[in-house]
Structures are given as C-alpha cells and as structure tokens.
C-alpha cells in the first residue's frame, strides 16, 4: 500500500469511526465478500452465511470505537466471522444447500467445475476446527502464525490440522 492510498484508507476509517454512514457503507461493501465467503465456506449454506454476515457487521458497528485502524477492523471481522461459524457448527450444523448453484457462481472456468466442487464439498466435511484452518489458509491466504492468532489456537495445533486435512483431502480425491 503506497503512502497516498494508506492516507486515504486512514481518512476513510476516521470517517467511519466518526459515524459517517456513507463511509461505513463503503467499508461494508469492501469487506462483505470476505465475511460472506468465510461464512459460506464454513457453513455450506447461503442463508446461514447471509445471517452470519449481517450479525458480524452489526456487531462491528457496535465495536467501531474500539478498532483503531481499518486493518485492525478487517482482522476483527475475520476473527469474529470464523468463531461465530465454528460455534454454529458445534451447536447445530446447518444443512448444506448443495454446490450446484455455488459452482455456477464460483467457477469462471468450466473445466475446473468438478474438481472445485468436489474440493469444496470435502472441505465442508472436515470438522469445524480443521475446516476453519483450511479456509483461512486458502481463502484468506493466511500463514499458520496468523491463523493461530485468529483462532486462539496453539501454532502446533494449527499446523497439525493443516497437515492432516491436506492428507485427508488428498486421499479422498484419489
């Protein structure tokens, strides 16, 4: 991020914190894709992902005063979204809405449809914690040390989850 864009970002976030509704709407539009996708990959249900997204942003609005920067807010969004999804999976996992519609939305290259669809289904079969690790790693491109802070999980546990999940996915794909 260059100096100009960093300054613009800081100004925009200052406006959000000052209660500027338009600035907040802009922030929501910028980050809703990330939050919604985390919910969708974790919960495998569009309606549940939408509900989760709404709850997270409402909670964000209540917590704005405690978040110093936009980056801080993004980390907070990611963390809260994943934790909420894990809690929901542990309490009462929502039924999957199936991947056909998702695939049509997700895939730009029809040649990848089957593999991508299969991978998403397999990830969705992982238990909540390893699923969260995989989603954060490959959707958000986070490294294990960032994941362990987001999930409040020991680093070695994150690495174990990742290693074993990849082994399971590899085996089931073959």
Partner 1 sequence: MTHDLEQELRRALQPVDPSPEFAARLLTGIAIARDRAGAVRQRWWRPTALAASVVLAIGLGFLVYQHQQRERAHAQLLEALAITSHSLDRAYRAVRWHGSDTGEHGG
Partner 2 sequence: MKRAARSVRWRMLWAASAAACLSSVGLSAELRLPDFDSLRAKASHSVVISLDADMLRLAGQFLDPSDPGDASARVAIRGLKSIFVRSFSFEKPYQVPSAEIATLRSQLAAPHWQRIVQTHSETDHSDVDIYLAADTEHAQGLVIIVSEPREFTVVSISGAIDLARLHGLEGHLGVPRLPATR
Residue among 112, 159, 111, 117 at smallest CA distance from 134? 159
Which residue of 6, 61, 143, 145 would you call a contact of partner 1, by CB under 8 A? 61
Answer with the entry of partner 1, partner 2, none that 17 interacts with (C-beta below 5 to 8 A by kind): none
Count H helices, E strands: the chain? 9, 0
Nearer to partner 1, 96 or 139 (CB): 139
Cβ neighbours for 79, distance < 8 A, ≥ 6 positions apart: 150, 151
Residue 173 as a binder of partner 2 (CB under 8 A): the answer is: no
Residue 167 as a binder of partner 2 (CB under 8 A): the answer is: yes
Q: From the CB of 143, what's the least distance to partner 1, in Å?
A: 13
Residue among 4, 1, 133, 141 at smallest CA distance from 71? 1
Buried b (16+ CB within 10 A) or exposed e, 141-172: ebebebbbebbebeeebbeebbeebeebbeee
Structure-token pair, residue 33? 């894709």
Interface with partner 1 in residues 8-27 (CB under 8 A): 21, 24-25
Which residue of 115, 125, 145, 172 would you call a contact of partner 1, by CB under 8 A? 115
Nearer to partner 1, 32 or 69 (CB): 32
Which residue of 126, 135, 142, 151 would you call a contact of partner 2, by CB under 8 A? 126
Residue 153 as a binder of partner 1 (CB under 8 A): the answer is: yes
Q: From the CB of 55, what's the least distance to partner 2, in Å?
A: 21
């Amino acid at each position: 991020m260059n100096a100009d864009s960093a300054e613009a970002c800081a100004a925009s976030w200052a406006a959000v914190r000052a209660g500027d509704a338009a600035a907040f709407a802009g922030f929501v539009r910028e980050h809703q894709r990330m939050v919604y996708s985390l919910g969708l990959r974790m919960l495998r249900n569009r309606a549940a992902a939408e509900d989760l997204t709404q709850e997270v942003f409402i909670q964000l609005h209540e917590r704005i005063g405690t978040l110093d920067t936009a980056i801080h807010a993004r980390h907070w969004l990611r963390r809260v979204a994943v934790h909420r999804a894990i809690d929901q999976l542990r309490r009462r996992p929502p039924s999957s809405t199936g991947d056909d519609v998702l695939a049509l939305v997700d895939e730009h290259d029809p040649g990848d449809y089957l593999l991508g669809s299969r991978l998403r289904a397999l990830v969705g079969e992982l238990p909540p914690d390893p699923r969260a690790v995989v989603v954060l790693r490959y959707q958000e491109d986070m490294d294990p040390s960032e994941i362990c802070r987001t999930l409040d999980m020991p680093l070695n546990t994150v690495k174990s989850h990742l290693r074993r999940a990849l082994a399971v996915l590899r085996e089931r794909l073959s």
